[in-house]
Amino acid sequence: MQFSVETCILKPSPHDMMVFLEVIESRSFTGAADIMGLTKSAVSHAVNRLEESVGQKLLLRTTRSMTITDAGARILPHCKQLRETYALTLDDLQSMGTQVSETLTVTAPDALCQSVVVPALAVLQKENKNLSVRLITDDKPVKLIDQKIDVAIRVGATAPQTAYGKRVGTLHEKLYASEGYIADMGGMPTQFSDLKNWAYIANDWQGSLVRHRLNEKEMIEVIPSIRCNGLSDVITFVSLENGVAMIPDIAVERLGVGHNLVPLYEMASTPIYALHQYETKVPKKVRGFIKLLTQMSI
């Protein structure tokens, strides 16, 4: 690495290294430009400057494809290390009391947001006044790097090759109905198959045909009479005696004393993971959030 006193420029440029890393992770110049808020031309110039600085081609580009060279593969880990070092620098500055603002971006499924994720983020933000929080509620998997996600909370999904994960709890779900609806249906079901004749309320991610398997021999298929894209709406419909739905126990517990929901059958116990993209030096904000989730004993 060279440092020019006359121009105060580091070569290769850390900025250009970060642009190169973004191009590789987004798999395109256009994607990197969108994520970094640059023009495609600026991204191309940054990669060209980096190639000139190291004196070798880092990418082989055609109109339809892009391939990383051996030299590009060698410099890539250093680019990742630079990103992690920058994140660690922010942590150290905060620990010294320097007023440095940063953002923690988290994505999580709707079923976990109100009950678990929001309480954990609230505690973390109160303890770190310079921390801004961005929460994205989404039941669909997202690309951590493409969407600049620090932590993705996922149910039942182990970490993909591009992410690192820690199990933070277990999601227990049951079929629930209201006391009034159970009375309307003649009392508690005597067998699992009775639920075929009960109205079903589904979350959108469950689809238009819902299958529930109690064990190897007992399974039901139902077409929802009501579908919602939010768990709170599902719970409201169940409370208003419109039918039965699969609801996480933690969501029912947060309703407090006096709710009218009755558990019918236990359906699933699924591991919950916190996924992130940091291989070694995990930023303080990420470590703190994951620690809080683990302590909450989901």
Which tens digits make up the pLDDT trace of 165-187? 888 889 999 999 999 999 999 99
Q: Give CA–CA dist 87/85, Å, rounded.
A: 5
Q: Give CA–CA dist 15/226, Å, rounded.
A: 51
Give the burial class of 281: count Cβ atoms within 10 A of its Cβ; 0-12 exposed, 13-18 middle, 19 or more buried.
middle
- Return residue ranges of the chain for CATH 3.40.190.290: 171-271
3-state secondary structure of 127: helix
CATH of domain 171-271: 3.40.190.290
Per-residue pLDDT tens digits for 77-104: 998 888 888 877 777 776 665 555 688 9
Residues 268 and 173 sit within 8 Å (Cβ to Cβ): yes
The candidate with the shortest Cα–Cα distance to 13, out of 2, 29, 27, is 2
Which backbone phi and psi does 97 adopt, to 5 degrees? 90, 5
In the predicted model, is pLDDT for residue 161 greater than 60? no
Q: Report the pLDDT averaged over residues 50-58.
A: 91
Task: State the fold for domain 100-168+277-295.
Answer: D-Maltodextrin-Binding Protein; domain 2 (3.40.190)
Q: Give CA–CA dist 191/170, Å, rounded.
A: 27
Q: How confident is the model at residue 107 (pLDDT cuts 50, 70, 90)?
A: very high
pTM for the full predicted model: 0.62
DSSP 62-107: -SS-EEE-HHHHHHHHHHHHHHHHHHHHHHHHHHTT----EEEEEE
Q: Give the per-residue pLDDT at 7.
A: 42
Q: Give the per-residue pLDDT at 3.
A: 39
Residues 200 and 176 sit within 8 Å (Cβ to Cβ): no
Residue that has been written with the tokens 């190639």 in this structure: 51
- Choices 3.40.50.150, 3.40.190.10, 2.40.110.10, 1.10.10.10: CATH for 2-94: 1.10.10.10
- Return residue ranges of the chain for CATH 1.10.10.10: 2-94
- Return residue ranges of the chain for CATH 3.40.190.10: 100-168+277-295
